């Protein structure tokens, strides 16, 4: 059966007037930043999308963080049309890089208007399309310029290993191929019932060389918002959802489906840690795929709280009174028992990368990130084949061992 291609509805985006001087500014704007950082800095967007929630009551308004525009957002009042009702804009606090907010307007309102720093906006309220993935098990991610064969393998893995029925990819300005090419890659995946490729045409953002440590990522605006936009506008009625990048394959030590597991989880949410798969293979880099990388660092200790990804069953989520807001490595306002799974591990493949995040960065973080693309030689004292990874790749893709380790006894 041919998979159904879903044409993504247009977002409702709002931008500051380009003829007016007001702009979003970085913290400490007097500091000198490289041109490539400023080229990736979103200075005009107020909201990336405005749409009706699945319950028909709230209207979500999602965008980049406020920064110097905070005083205007804090006193923002929104009027619904045709009701004429004016309400206060509410936002989720303490969300890194994102403005995740909402207003409560009558269901009959199809437009809204507001004043922002003297600029007037009146825009439609986008329709909710949660029916698109109703009763589906959905794998979704963001992409830019990853190899099309990697994208197809990623979708095939989640279909074969976990029983995914749908795949959604937000394509962030790929310039090596078109959205249609990504759609064709997904259309060829056997067993997939639905797929959607969303053109996400916002600057991803770069690390800030003027700041230290993890705080340098503060300007990556475009990615965190899409998780909430996807779930609340398109997938609220999905049976279950897994969040994993193209270079990430989630595997259960019991070889269970992550979808089945989260659908039966007490709180409807499972968080899982990551394990690095080294860039070691004898396959030519131009031909390499997930299945060609089976070596991990010997003695690698999984940190149960570091860079966790998640899977959820929306209908089973236990909430803390506010709307659930998923982001990269967390699901805000959802109860999870504050635990990380010891059964599911997110295998993160160093070599399955186009380097698109790192190449957009600035400073030494870019140099460190690009090490992902540097191949290593197998060293039995440092590396070993991961038995679970070997078995899973063999059963999923028909590969039983890595050519990078011809003497398997050496790693025992």
Domain ranges of the chain: 4-124, 135-397
Beta strands in 151-207, from DSSP E residues, in sequence order: 166-171, 194-199
Q: What is the pLDDT of residue 307?
A: 77
DSSP H or E run through 364: helix 364-369
Q: What is the pLDDT of residue 287?
A: 84
Q: Which residues neighbour 2 within 8 Å (Cβ) at sequence distance 6 or greater?
A: 187
Check: CB of residue 145 under 8 Å from CB of residue 175.
yes
Q: What is the pLDDT of residue 214?
A: 64
Q: What is the pLDDT of residue 302?
A: 83
For the question of whether the overall pTM of this predicted structure is more than 0.95, the answer is no
Please identify, in words, the CATH class of the domain defined by 4-124: mainly beta
Q: Residue ranges of the chain with pLDDT lower than 50? A: 356-370, 400-412
DSSP assignment of 108-167: T--EEEEEETTEEEEEE-BPP-GGGGTT-EEEEEEESS--HHHHHHHHHHHHHHH---EE
């Amino acid at each position: 059966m041919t998979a159904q291609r879903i044409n993504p509805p247009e977002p409702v985006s709002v931008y500051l007037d380009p003829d007016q001087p007001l702009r979003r500014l970085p913290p400490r704007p007097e500091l000198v930043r490289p041109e490539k950082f400023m080229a990736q800095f979103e200075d005009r967007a107020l909201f990336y999308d405005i749409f009706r929630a699945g319950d028909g009551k709230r209207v979500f308004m999602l965008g980049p963080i406020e920064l110097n525009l905070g005083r205007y957002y804090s006193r923002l009042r929104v009027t619904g049309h045709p009701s004429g009702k004016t309400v206060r804009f509410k936002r989720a606090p303490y969300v890194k890089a994102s403005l995740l907010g909402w207003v409560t307007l009558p269901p009959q309102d199809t437009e809204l208007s507001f004043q922002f720093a003297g600029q007037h906006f009146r825009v439609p309220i986008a329709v909710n399309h949660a029916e698109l993935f109703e009763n589906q098990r959905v794998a979704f991610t963001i992409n830019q310029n990853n190899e099309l064969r990697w994208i197809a393998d990623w979708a095939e893995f989640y279909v074969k290993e976990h029983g995914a029925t749908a795949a959604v990819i937000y394509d962030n300005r790929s310039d090596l191929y078109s959205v249609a090419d990504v759609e064709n890659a997904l259309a060829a995946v056997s067993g997939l019932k639905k797929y959607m490729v969303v053109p996400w045409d916002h600057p991803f953002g770069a690390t800030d060389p003027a700041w230290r440590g993890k705080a340098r990522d503060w300007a990556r605006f475009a990615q965190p918002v899409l998780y909430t936009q996807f779930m609340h506008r398109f997938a609220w009625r999905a049976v279950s959802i897994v969040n994993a990048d193209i270079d990430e394959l989630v595997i259960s030590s019991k070889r269970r489906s992550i979808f089945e597991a989260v659908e039966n989880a007490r709180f409807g949410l499972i968080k899982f840690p990551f394990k690095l798969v080294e860039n070691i293979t004898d396959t030519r880099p131009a031909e390499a795929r997930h299945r060609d990388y089976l070596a991990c660092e010997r003695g690698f200790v999984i940190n149960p709280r570091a860079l966790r990804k998640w899977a959820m069953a929306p209908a089973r989520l236990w909430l803390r009174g506010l709307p659930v807001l998923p982001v990269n490595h967390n699901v805000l306002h959802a109860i999870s028992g504050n635990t990380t799974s010891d059964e599911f591990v997110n295998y993160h493949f160093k070599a399955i990368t186009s380097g698109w995040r790192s190449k957009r960065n600035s400073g030494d973080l870019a140099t460190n990130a690009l090490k992902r693309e540097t191949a290593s030689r197998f060293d039995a004292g440092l590396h070993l084949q991961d038995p679970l990874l070997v078995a899973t790749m063999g059963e999923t893709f028909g590969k039983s061992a890595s050519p990078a380790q011809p003497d398997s006894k050496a790693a025992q």
